Amino acid sequence: MTGKVLAVLVGSILLGVGVNGFLVPHHLLDGGMIGIGLIIHYFYGFPTGLTMILLSLPLYVLAWILERKYFFHSLNGLLVSSFFIDLFAPVEKGIHLGIVPSAILGGILVGCGIGLMLRYETSTGGTDLLAQLVHKFFPVNVGILIFLIDGIVVLSGLKVIGMEKFIYSLLTITCVGLMTSLCVIKRKTVH
């Protein structure tokens, strides 16, 4: 099994457990397409992973036009991570932690999953793909770009989740951004 395939598999499992085991039980948000998928899940009950695929389609068209390497490298990540997010939906009922540890652990797992995929030049698509495309033209750390996009998404979900969960969701995206950045920085220093 190649490193990239293993990164997609392990990263997707981390995402599935992080989202369903820690974020969904408390109606917390992540950012990016996962966060938008969660907002739609909380509001309408649609599956988060399937929503991520549908909402990512315009970004894949953009990637096809601008950088086909990102298109091909992230397509598997999007499909596999969306599958595992929906597959692990029942985990929501199995892990019982308070909201603060859930916000932190969920953020760490999601950030590690995203960072692991980015480390092997793949992603979950969505706004991770957008961050990679922006990074191609501007020398800004991908983890910082994802953190900024995540903040905008979480802010847009404020009415759905309320102020208290919004604040805990900010803690989540901070953990996601830090873990993603650490994974991306580590790869650059290893080579």
| pLDDT tens, per residue, the chain with 191 residues | 688 889 999 999 999 999 999 999 999 999 888 999 999 999 999 999 999 999 988 888 888 888 787 788 788 888 999 999 999 999 888 788 999 999 999 999 999 998 898 888 777 777 767 777 788 788 888 778 877 887 788 889 998 899 999 999 999 988 988 998 888 775 444 44
Contacts of residue 59, defined as CB under 8 A and 6 or more positions apart, other chains included, come to: 125, 126, 127, 129, 130
Cα–Cα dist 19/109, whole Å: 8
Structure token pair of residue 134: 């922006």
Give the CA-trace dihedral at 84, 168, 58, 120, to 10 degrees.
-60
